[in-house]
Amino acid sequence: MPSAELERVQLPVSGMSCQACARSVRGALLSVPGVAEAEVNFAAHTATIARDPAVATGPLLAAALQRAGYGTAEDAGGGSLAADVRFAERAGRAEVTRTRRALALALAFGVATLAARLLGAPDAVAVALAAPVVFVAGRGVLAGGLRAALRGTPDMNTLVALGVLTAWTAAAVHAAVPAWLPGGGHHVLAAPMILVFVLLGRALESGARDRAGRTVRELLDLSPPTARVLRAGTEVEVPLAEVRVGQLVLVRPGERVPVDGEVHEGRSALDESSLTGESAPVERGPGEPVRAGTLNGNGPLAIRATAVGAASALGRVAAYVQAAQSSRAPVQHLVDRVSAVFVPVVIAIALTALVAWLVAGAPAGVAVARAAAVLVVACPCALGLATPTAILAAAGRGAREGVLVRDAGAFERLARVDAVAFDKTGTLTTGAPRVARIDVEPGEDEDELLALVGAVERGTEQPVGAALLAAARERVGDLPYARDVAAEPGLGIAGAVGDRAVWIGSPRGARERGLDAALVEQRTAAATADGASPVLLEVDGRLRATFAVVDTPRPTAADALRRLAALGLDVHVLSGDHPAAVARAAREIGLADASGGERVRGGLSPLDKAAAVEELRAGGARVLAVGDGVNDAPLLAAADVGAALGGGAGVALEAADCALLRDDPAAAATLVALARRALRTIRLNLVWASAYNLLALPVAAGALTPWTGWAPSPALGAAAMAGSSLLVVAHSAHLMRARLEPGPRA
């Protein structure tokens, strides 16, 4: 099947109670004709598949999951992000409710079983009291373990089910025929206690996991469900889904903005911290943009809607976070391979322990206890949860800090970067340059030239072009219109105004057009001496004027460099501006260039920037590139990781691996520190889970008994297993509040 025919969809999945369920869900989805790929994230309760929509339809996917004991939305992925999140939350709450009910039942009958043993009741009474725990409270565990075993992919539920059934059956056999299994009566307490600890661990784990993963819902909740629109001069409150682009939306003081838009009337300070992490309110007035989910201050606003719902910056950010939380890090594939063989190995160890103790002459009850303890002490769930829970928490923490990471693989690459390549304009500088000086050729009319420049630059998205346009409007007012406008990134822009051919561009672009290099150097000398960016104007094939354009560094640029240096990162500036202007900006932000110009380069085209990054990578550096996400696409694509500054809107969320939602280059340091902390968390989780199993399995099998006379009971093994998973989840959840301090490269 050609890959172009495949559609990638994300499904919320209900009914998963542990990490091993993710493998069962994946197997069920891959069994559906037309499904080429399937990745399941238990921590986020989602499955991402690549399918042929004409073959792998929603009902077929839902039916396959239902046969495997799981569920999804009826349309199997055709709903909105909000609908999927609501479904996953309902499914999660239902799972928690079922787990708590089962835990209550297990506790009640477990205590009754203990009382029967303490009061000396017949063994048959204790076995009967334990039966509801095993076959009612533990029904979900037994059914899940049996289904996995029948599919040939035994999982954690299989191990627990085998341990519980082994303990309860041993007690039942002893109660019926004591001579057949001496000492088997002691196991009657193990069965309910195993399930009590397993269910308690799952209940606590689900709560910790929910706290780490609720970021998407919190983001979606920022958008109010209704909006007040102006219709025929009348204010009408309507559901947000009915708001259309172009309508006027009214926002009162203290309310959240429901849509992306442009202020039509009014002025107010808006709290954008929920999206950008920046606590200081931002002033917004007529013509200025506002984002959905931000909190209006003390002034009423009339906003012209430009994007609603999923199309708004808030909707895109929520989708970005959910995609990251549902993605899988490369290391997870190794973990999956280990987990796939782990359960059969544990079963083999349990059988070996059973036989070894019997051969050694131990009573059958002791041998059964060792086998049951091995089965329940093992914890592939902790191993499987090590990576996805850390990614879940890191993506949520990033959203709160105003930094977004597209997927788990980007987290790993970010943690290993040792160099940062910044674009200058709009990244390290404000991106709002101004025309500082205009030098016109003798006999030329400055206002007339400005009118031609403004006509060609009308509608421009480039900062320098916007500066020229602003100067033209300030001086001339109404501007003529240009036709046949064509831009060459990094070189210039051309168009026709009336019967005049106009070209505006850089010195490099002028030289490439055939202008004499000495003349270009002469005309731009004054601007470059001031550290400004020179822009040349050619009309009808003749050089007519030179504009000196200056930009100012962002207030946080110097702090960004200090923080990146503390992280051990080398900083490079790659810019299309004139080298003199780039050097001036580098000096102002405190970037020393002791390498003879290699760290600060100007006069680069977009492809030159990409080539510079490739040079760094060829020299062994792992590079994070930071740009504005519009004309820096080659730069971002060439780096190991690309981050778009101010990425709450437009191309940025689509063009880069990461997005920095506030216009602050210091957020790049936050991004790297978060990634390093996340990777350290994953590694510690994996070390703990692996070390736990390496130690717990031989101890459960009785390795210490010959020297100490002690061995853990099956119930104690179950408690250790549940505690191991809970520890991994709690350690990952700590990412939500941990300090992001400078640390070594991963």
- Is pLDDT of 653 > 60? no
pLDDT at 740: 79
Please state, for a pLDDT cut of 70, what percent of the chain lies above it: 90
Which strands, in side-by-side order, build the sheet including 492-497? 434-440, 542-550, 533-539, 500-505, 492-497, 483-488
Is residue 634 very low, low, confident or very high in pLDDT (cuts 50, 70, 90)?
Answer: confident
Residue written as token pair 């308690």: 200
- Is pLDDT of 146 > 60? yes
Whether 273 contacts 220, CB under 8 Å: no
Q: Mean pLDDT throughout 429-438?
A: 84
Question: What percentage of the chain's residues is helix, strand, coil (to nearest 5)?
Answer: 55, 20, 30
First to last CA, the chain: 39
pLDDT at 594: 41
Is residue 20 very low, low, confident or very high in pLDDT (cuts 50, 70, 90)?
Answer: low
Residue 590 backbone class (left: φ over 0; alpha: ψ -120 to 50; beta: rest) = left
- Is pLDDT of 211 > 70? no
CATH superfamily of 434-550: Calcium-transporting ATPase, cytoplasmic domain N (3.40.1110.10)
Residue 599 is given by DSSP the state S
Secondary structure E strands in 52-98: 71-72
Residue of 287, 396, 566 whose CA lies nearest to 43: 396
pLDDT at 416: 92
More confident residue, 69 or 5: 69
Q: Which sequence spans correspond to the domains of the chain?
A: 3-79, 93-214+322-392+677-736, 224-311, 417-429+553-639, 434-550
Q: Mean pLDDT throughout 157-168?
A: 84
pLDDT tens-digit map of 39-80: 887 766 788 888 988 888 888 888 888 888 888 865 554 556
CATH number 3.90.1150.10 is the correct assignment for the domain at 224-311: no
Residue 629 backbone class (left: φ over 0; alpha: ψ -120 to 50; beta: rest) = left
Which strands, in side-by-side order, build the sheet including 35-41? 35-41, 46-51, 7-14, 71-72
How many other CB atoms are there within 10 angstroms of residue 440's CB atom?
A: 16
> Residue ranges of the alpha helices (H) in 575-620?
579-588, 606-618
Q: Does residue 531 sit in helix, strand or coil? A: coil
- Is pLDDT of 431 > 90? no
Helix (H) / strand (E) element for 180: namely none
- Is pLDDT of 518 > 70? yes
CB-based contacts of 171: which residues, under 8 Å, 6+ apart? Answer: 123, 126, 127, 130, 184, 185, 186, 187, 188, 191
Whether 45 contacts 62, CB under 8 Å: no
Q: What is the average pLDDT score of the chain? A: 83
- Is pLDDT of 296 > 80? yes
Q: Does residue 49 sit in helix, strand or coil? A: strand
Q: Residue 641 to residues 81, 301, 332, 613: CA-CA distances in angstroms? A: 26, 39, 20, 11
Residue of 177, 145, 147 whose CA lies nearest to 160: 145
CB-based contacts of 516: which residues, under 8 Å, 6+ apart? Answer: none
Is residue 651 very low, low, confident or very high in pLDDT (cuts 50, 70, 90)?
Answer: very low
Long-range contacts of 65-70 (CB under 8 A, 24+ apart): 65/13, 65/15, 65/25, 65/28, 65/29, 67/28, 68/24, 68/25, 68/27, 68/28, 68/147, 69/15, 69/24, 69/143, 69/144, 69/147, 70/13, 70/14, 70/15, 70/16, 70/21, 70/24, 70/25, 70/28
Distance between CA 52 and CA 430 in Å, rounded?
46
Q: Mean pLDDT throughout 212-216?
A: 67
Q: Residue 335 to residues 95, 213, 329, 597: CA-CA distances in angstroms? A: 25, 21, 10, 45
- Is pLDDT of 447 > 60? yes
pLDDT at 368: 85
Which amino acid is located at 438 in the chain? I
Domains 417-429+553-639 and 434-550 share a fold: no
Phi, psi of 513 (to 5 degrees): -80, -5
Residue of 25, 12, 46, 678 whose CA lies nearest to 408: 678
pLDDT tens-digit map of 258-295: 999 999 999 998 888 777 766 678 888 898 889 888 88
- Is pLDDT of 524 > 70? yes
Low-confidence winner among 247-256, 454-463, 500-509 (lowest mean pLDDT): 454-463
> What predicted TM-score, i.e. pTM, was given to this entire model?
0.73
pLDDT at 596: 43
- Is pLDDT of 132 > 90? yes
Structure tokens at 538: 């050619």
Please state, for a pLDDT cut of 90, what percent of the chain lies above it: 20
pLDDT tens-digit map of 591-608: 765 444 568 888 787 888
pLDDT at 726: 83
- Cα 427 vs. chain centroid, distance in angstroms? 22
Catalytic residue ranges? 423
pLDDT at 172: 87
Is residue 210 very low, low, confident or very high in pLDDT (cuts 50, 70, 90)?
Answer: low
CATH T-level topology, domain 3-79: Alpha-Beta Plaits (3.30.70)
Strand partners, 603: none
CATH T-level topology, domain 417-429+553-639: Rossmann fold (3.40.50)
pLDDT at 677: 93
pLDDT at 389: 84
Which amino acid is located at 367 in the chain? A
The segment with the largest mean pLDDT, out of 29-38, 139-148, 363-372, is 29-38
How many other CB atoms are there within 10 angstroms of residue 511's CB atom?
A: 17
